[in-house]
Amino acid sequence: AHSFYNSKDIPCLVMFVVAAYTLVRYLERKTILRIVVHAFSCAVLIGIRLLGILMPFLTFVFIIADVLIRHESKGKSKEIAISVILYGLFLTIFVVLCWPTLWSHPLRNFITAFTDVGHYEKTSYFLGDYVESPWYYYSLWILITTPLWYLCCFFFNRCSTEY
């Protein structure tokens, strides 16, 4: 529902798909160009939304899985280690370049941004008053903010599906 009125959600989704694609390309062949492109796409994703930090985590998970699954990776531990170090270096440089808040004090401002993500006001303006969100808040919110055509298509599709 946020994508209808929050201008960061669609670009975040698009960059997540781009970063996932560049991750797949990087896992196919670990060249310098693919390392740089993947690091840059991850940095742009992190610059759009801090939740984009999930993609570098997934990158390291998939690299570890790639090393454990593929037998041809066993003898190339030095090249893989160098590619991971280069990825981390380029990612750090690109995140700082893509996020002006980090320009003055990169590490301190990143930690501040990361810790501030969880500190948001838990009350909502709901039916004319600021209240703690009731159990039906999200259901009502989806019904109010989602276009009627989408809701009709969703309900008709759910009703016509046979299990």
pLDDT tens for each residue of 76-120: 778 888 999 999 999 999 999 988 888 888 889 888 887 877 666
Q: What angle do the packed helices 77-98 and 32-48 form, to 10 degrees?
A: 40
Using alpha carbons only, what angle is made at residue 130 by residues 125 and 132, rounded to the nearest 5 degrees?
Answer: 95
pLDDT tens for each residue of 26-71: 999 889 999 999 999 999 999 998 888 999 999 999 988 888 887 6
pLDDT on residue 76: 74
Alpha-carbon span 43 to 90, nearest angstrom: 9
pTM of the model: 0.70
Q: What angle do the packed helices 77-98 and 54-69 form, to 10 degrees?
A: 170
Alpha-carbon span 150 to 140, nearest angstrom: 15
